[in-house]
Amino acid sequence: MINEPLTNKTERIQKILSAYGVASRREAERMILAGRILVNGFSAELGQTANPVVDDIKIDGKPLPDMNKHYYIMLNKPCGYITSMTDERSRKIVMELVADISDKTRIYPIGRLDKESEGLLLLTNDGQFANVVMHPKFGLTKTYVVHVRGDIKEAIEKLGMPIEIDSHVVRALSVKQLEEVANGAVIEIIINEGRNRQVRKMCHECGLDVVSLRRVAIGSVKLGNLPLGKWRHLKETEIKSLTAT
């Protein structure tokens, strides 16, 4: 289960920022290095510790958010948006699609979907919830529907075997053909990892060209009929299903 939120404890700055839903720990480290975090009026340093109750911690000049209100959001991400909080190249970011929430509290994406992919993306301001969803040790499955071109019969057999990608051996939990289309097929791939562009790379290694890729489920939480580009709050039962570890 999710651990209790940090209260009157001395912890590393990035852990505090994660627990308060400011950002993931990795993103928090980047914020510290960029000088965006102040502790008692001084720029924070990597490895520094603080007590969120006693010390004055500010993010871009603003205090830590209220921990009493957590948000758990499901977004149907369209193609063309990058999964990022900001972008120096002025590309479209997923935060634009949840601006009515992110203007009130700082939420951030859990994991990533690449720019060319669409589908289920979770966002939250609960760092411990995000850690449970993302961390490989919890083994949450991720289900993708992929339109591919190529030799489907041979490729599906290969996709079910161990495949080396970026010096790591990965394997799909399940691969099946959903329908046959011109010059290819629509297939379902289920994995319990989340390496960078993993499904696309698996398909490429098996001789398939990916036409489109959509994530339709994380664990038992399904995208359903949520319109493209829209979001909704997760139901309590969905939150519990993702954290029942």
Mean pLDDT of 77-87: 92
Element (H, E) at 189: strand 184-191
Per cent of the chain over pLDDT 70 is 93
* Contact residues for 245 (Cβ-Cβ < 8 A; gap 6+): 1, 132, 138
Query: How many CA atoms are closer than 13 Å to the CA of 209, on its beta-carbon side?
Result: 5
pLDDT in the model for residue 8: 62
Beta partners for residue 210, in sequence order: 148
- How are beta strands 209-218 and 142-149 bridged, if at all? antiparallel
Q: Which residue of the set 100, 114, 151, 166 is catalytic? A: 114
pLDDT in the model for residue 2: 40
pLDDT in the model for residue 4: 42
Residue 13 has pLDDT above 90, yes or no: yes
> What is the per-residue pLDDT across 53-73, written as a single tens digit (0 to 9) for each?
899 999 999 888 766 678 999
> What is the per-residue pLDDT across 146-167, written as a single tens digit (0 to 9) for each?
999 998 988 999 999 999 999 9
Residue 139 has pLDDT above 90, yes or no: no
Check if 209 is active-site.
no
d(CA 8, CA 77): 37
pLDDT in the model for residue 104: 59
Residue 1 has pLDDT above 60, yes or no: no
Question: Which domains, and CATH codes, for the chain?
Answer: 11-63 (3.10.290.10), 75-135+225-243 (3.30.70.580), 141-218 (3.30.2350.10)
The average confidence (pLDDT) of the chain is 89
